[in-house]
Structure 1
Amino acid sequence: MGSLRTAGTARCLALPESSSTYLLQELKMIWDEVGQEENERERILEELEQECQEVYRRKVNSANMLRIQLHQALAESEAEFTNLLLSLGERSFPGRPEKMNGTLKEQLNSITPALQEMQMKKEARLKQFTEVQTEVQRIASEIAGRSENEVVTVNEDDLSLKKLEEHQSELQRLKREKGDRLCKVEEYKVLICNFAKIMGMDPSNVLASVHPSLLIGANEQQKKNISDDILNKLNTMVQQLKEEKNHRLEKLHSLGKALANLWNILDTAMEERQPYGQINIFSLTSANGMLGPGSLRLEKIQQIESEVQRLDQLKASKMKELFIKKKAEIEEICKISHMDVPYQTEMDNIMELIMSGDVDHDNLLKTMDGYIYKTKEEATSRKEIMDKVEKWITSCDEERWLEEYSRDERRYSVSRGAHRHLKRAERARIIANKIPGLVELLIEKTEIWEHGRKKIFYYDELPLLEMLKQYMLTLKEKEEERCRQRD
């Protein structure tokens, strides 16, 4: 029985067999020499057998764990490879072996290069996604007016080229929108600068009041705020400046016309007009005309406004003098035309208003200018008749001289100048003979004038038509008298 156990123990320890056999034999020799008991020998051999089994078990377990790990690593690699294919949106990968043959290590070694290549491809794709999405978020933040502190999160479950193209398309759309918005911002800035310069404002201060980012240099355009809020504020500022410009331009036009009117009324010397000559030119230009820098500066408009107020006060102090001058002009026209002064009552009322100070000076001058115009029109309508009246009066003077000359008994005496009187008498006789025809023509034209105007034609406060008819009656009586005398 001891030999069998020895043989079994030897089989159990037969790795290598020669060494274990030799050691067992050496142990047996020692035991024999020592006189080791058989029971003790059995116990020791059993212990050796148990220890040998434990060593084998540990080695088997270790080998089994390695096999499990290799199976798990292989499964994980295949799963990761499959996930990478799905994530990258690819159906297959050329570097991946179609059939897995050989040992587990061989299979794992065969899939590892393809997996590493796929991982590198994923990293490259992930970098592309990160760059594109970061740029998309940055431009979207600029357009939305948000800060750029948000962290970009890439969905690693979908890194397909289709998804990347979608992000790239979105990026291109945002870039175009950004470009359009930057162009719009620049257009607004140019308009604001032009309006500000024309009105003598600092464009930088105006732009800064909208948003500080508008003052960033061209090399930092990407940092500009181009949100809807900024565009709306810029548009509002442009509209405000445009309205202010139009308001100032209208005010300048009004002041320029008022200034020119006052200069004409007050007969202002050219030396006094010179400092405001350019303003007067501006007042005559259209609203769409070209205006230089500072043309509508508030201080300049206020200066003109002060000058208009000063001249207006001066005009008020000279209004009585201006009124008297215009009234005298009307009276002179009436005197030359031998007609009554019209609007006498109205002008007396205006004079009372001037003395009381309760009068609109501009309306007063317009009223007086209207009276002058109507008086001149009246005088013009009377001119043809007045010319003939003057001719008639001159003819009557000649006729009276002829009558006096005819009664002079010495008219035929030889004296100095007698021949001249004879010649004048001949001329006077010719003129006198034409008087009846002239008076009849005057009567006809006067009747036409009165019928057209529906009023009486007065000459020095006397009805001209009655004067003419009375004269014709007198002529008739004279002619009858002369006939009686001849008979």
Structure 2
Amino acid sequence: MSKTQIESICSSLLQELEVIWDEVGETETEREKILIEIEDECREVYIRKVEKVKEERVQLRQDIVDSEAKVVAICSAMEEPSSLGRQHQSDQSGRRSLKEELVKILQKLEDMEKRKAERKDQFIQVIKDIKCVKDEINGESDETCSSDFSVDESDLSLRKLEELHRELYTLQEQKRNRMKQIQDHLRTLESLCSVLGLDFQETVTKIHPSLIESEGSRSISNETLDKLASSVNQWHETKIQRMQELQDLVTTMLEFWNLMDTPAEEQQKFINVSCNIAATVSEITKPNSLSTDLLKEVHSHKLQNYIFSTFSLLNDCVPVKKVKEELCRLEELKWSKMKELVLKKRSELEEICRRTHIVLEEQDISVENVIKAIESGDVNPENILEEIEYRAGKVKEEALSRKEILEKAEKWLNACEEENWLEEYNQDDNRYNAGKGSHLILKRAEKARALVNKLPAMAEALISKITIWESEKNSEFLFDGNRLLLMLEEYTELREEKEQERRRKREMKKLQGQVTPEQDKGTPKRPQSAKKGLRVSTNKTFASSPQTDSPRSAKSFTTQSRYG
């Protein structure tokens, strides 16, 4: 209803009221009073309506503000522009009503909430995938992958989502690497089990039952990976031990074959074993080639079996007497060959000791004792052979720990030789006379002086190395039976005494005015090397050790008493 219509209705009603008042005879005072009441009532109605409309306007504006705040919060969480400022400017220029504005904002809010829900689902999926991969790596239960995940709704930006995707990619890459490691370990373990004659599935099941299943459902936890790697290392060490054991057995078996002239057809039974005598660990790949059954079979293949298997090829009509005679002959041949082998091994042990300057003190395996024991039959030559090989192994092991010190000792001894030569050269009054080869001698003297100047540092470094070695081994470092540390300390003391004596004599000559520049340029006299004995002016001597006949034994030292 328009404003004109309202005014027309009010005017007609007022006229009708005037007619009624005229008929009734209402006074002017009453008429004025009633009109005032009508005006007051109309005013109150207008006021109530205006207040109600104002409240609705306030509510609309509040709804708009709240909706805008929600839109801004969602856009902020998603790090996207809200575009509400531009919308307000367009609303003011177009004079859009509050209701229209509210409808527009509610549509925007609904769209943003929908996008927020989609973004949140993306976050939940990525976080769930991350959690599942972490659980697989840490070996935790898979039940957590199906549980609900809480998401921080204050940050749903694409930047944060990209960070989570990168984290997921890193974890998935780690998972792929772990699966590849496990696959490689399983292939290696399967090869080891095949060579060692083990049940692959049983071995893998003990580590983790899932490893025998398909690749996708295998455990990739740290614990499983560590156990698998440990198992591979353990069986690899076992393979090395068995290979060495088998090669030792095959070596002994070949020696027995050579001793007994075993026929080729008899040797053919162990051709698959003997072919691995020089093989490396990686070259032994045939199934059961290092199984315990095979090792037992080789162990049980004794020399006596060869003898009887040889006679089994003879005709049944061979007289027993001839068989016994042949057995006696072979037995004597065996002992003779064994004695030769023992003496050969003993010589090899002595050669190792000679090269490493270790004195062999075991009298029970000396050449004389070994021959007597074998000839008397009191000791089995095989036992003596095993003892010699055991001690040779011990000597080789010790030689490895002595290698660095021995090399430094050799250099020190060579320097001592040059010191001896230089001392004799400086004492030669004709050393500057021109002659055939004199320039070579001068060049050697220059090199000798440079080397002799390094002697104190060489001795100090060698003493330090020996001290550390003796502390670690809790034993003395012996060089051809003599303690090398005492020899070095004695040499250092004697050298210092000679230096002091030389300085004292030079001071005395200076006081007497007898020192010449030529005499003063002479290289300090130092003890001679061990090859000729360390001779000093104080009559203290390092003599060569008499305890060994090795070529290098001349370089070893024994110290005569300095006090008695």
For residue 158 of structure 1, what is the aligned residue in structure 2?
A: 155
Letter in 1 for 2:250: G
Distance 1:15 1:249 in 2: 122
Q: CA deviation at 1:328?
A: 9.0
Aligned partner of 1:241 in structure 2 is 235
| Matching residue within 320, 324, 333 for 2:332 | 324
Task: Provide TM-score, normalisation by structure 2.
Answer: 0.47
1:375-403 superposed Cα distances (whole Å, 9 cap, x missing partner): xxxxxxxxxxxxxxxxxxxxxxxxxxxxx
Distance 2:278 2:84 in 1: 83
Are residues 287 and 107 of structure 1, via their aligned partners in 2, closer, same or farther at CA, if it must alter by over 3 Å? closer
CA contact (8 A) 1:255 1:308 kept: no
| CA distance in 2: counterparts of 1:146 and 1:132, whole angstroms | 18
Secondary structure in structure 1 of the residue aligned to 2:155: coil
Quote how far apart the aligned CAs of 1:125 are: 1.7
Structure 2: where are the runs of 5+ without partners? 1-6, 25-36, 310-323, 338-366, 389-564
Conservation of the 8 A alpha-carbon contact between 2:256 and 2:303: no
CA distance in 2 between counterparts of 1:135 and 1:348 reads 80
Contact residue 191 and residue 285 of structure 2 kept, 8 A = no
**What letter is aligned with 2:199?**
D
Q: Which residue of 2 aligns with 1:170?
A: 167
Distance of 1:310 and 1:53 partners within structure 2: 137
Matched residue, 2:374: 350
Deviations 1:419-473 (Å, cap 9, x if unpaired)?
A: xxxxxxxxxxxxxxxxxxxxxxxxxxxxxxxxxxxxxxxxxxxxxxxxxxxxxxx
Find the partner of 2:287 among 267, 274, 293: 293
1:193 and 1:327 mapped to 2: Cα distance? Answer: 45
The aligned amino acid for 1:360 is P
Whole-angstrom distance in 2 between the partners of 1:87 and 1:365:
81
Number of aligned positions between the proteins: 323
* Structure possessing the higher radius of gyration over alpha carbons: 1
Contact map agreement 1:253 1:283 (CA 8 A) in 2 = yes
Residue 90 (structure 1) aligned to one of 73, 80, 96: 80
Mapped partners of 2:255, 2:85: distance in 1: 96
Q: Show the counterpart of 2:112.
A: 118
Query: Deviation at 1:243?
Result: 0.5
Kept in 2, the 8 Å contact 1:97–1:111? The answer is no
1:180 equivalent to 2:188? Answer: no
TM-superposed CA distance for 1:194, in Å, is: 1.0
Q: Give the counterpart letter for 1:226 in structure 2.
A: I
Counterpart residue identity of residue 251, structure 1: E
TM (norm. structure 1) is: 0.54
Give the secondary-structure state (helix, strand or coil) at the position aligned to 1:300: helix
1:17 shift after superposition: 5.7
Matches of residues 183-194 of structure 1 in structure 2 within 5 Å?
Answer: 183-194=180-191
The runs of 4+ residues in structure 1 deviating greater than 6 Å are: 18-25, 48-62, 312-315, 317-320, 326-329, 343-348, 364-367
CA displacement, residues 41-68 of structure 1 (integer Å, 9 cap, x when unaligned): xxxxx9x999999999987786566445
User: 359, 380, 393: which one pairs with 2:380?
Assistant: 359
What secondary structure, in the 3-state scheme, does the structure 2 residue paired with 1:307 have?
A: coil
Q: CA distance change for structure 1 residues 348 and 251 in 2, over 3 Å: closer, same or farther?
A: closer
Q: In the alignment, is the contact (CA less than 8 A) between 2:74 and 2:112 conserved in 1? A: yes
**Structure-1 separation of matches of 2:77 and 2:151:** 12
Partner of 1:304: 298
Distance 2:80 2:305 in 1: 89
Equivalence for 1:470: none
Q: From 38, 41, 62, give the equivalent of 1:72.
A: 62
Aligned-partner residue type, residue 324 of structure 1: E
Deviations 1:271-307 (A, max 9, x none): 5444333222233433342421121122222222223
Match of 2:194 in 1: 197
Aligned to 1:209: 206
Aligned to 1:227: 221
Residue type at the aligned position of 2:81: R
Provide the C-alpha distance between the structure 2 equivalents of 1:141 and 1:345, rounded to a whole number of angstroms: 69
- Within the alignment, does 1:136 sit opposite 2:157 as a pair? no
* CA deviation vs aligned residue, 1:305-348 (integer Å, no higher than 9, x gap): 22348749989x9997556347899xxxxxxxxxxxxx999867
Alignment root-mean-square deviation, CA: 4.7
Which is worse superposed, 114-123 or 274-283?
Answer: 274-283
Equivalents in 2 of 1:111, 1:251: separation in Å? Answer: 86
Q: CA separation in 1, counterparts of 2:238 and 2:385?
A: 33
1:401 is matched with none
Structure 1, unaligned runs of 5 or more: 1-13, 33-45, 330-342, 368-487
Alignment CA distance shift 1:245-1:345 (3 Å): closer
Preserved contact between residue 195 and residue 287 of structure 2 (Cα < 8 Å): yes
Q: CA offset at residue 91 of structure 1?
A: 3.0
Distance 1:95 1:320, change over 3 A: farther
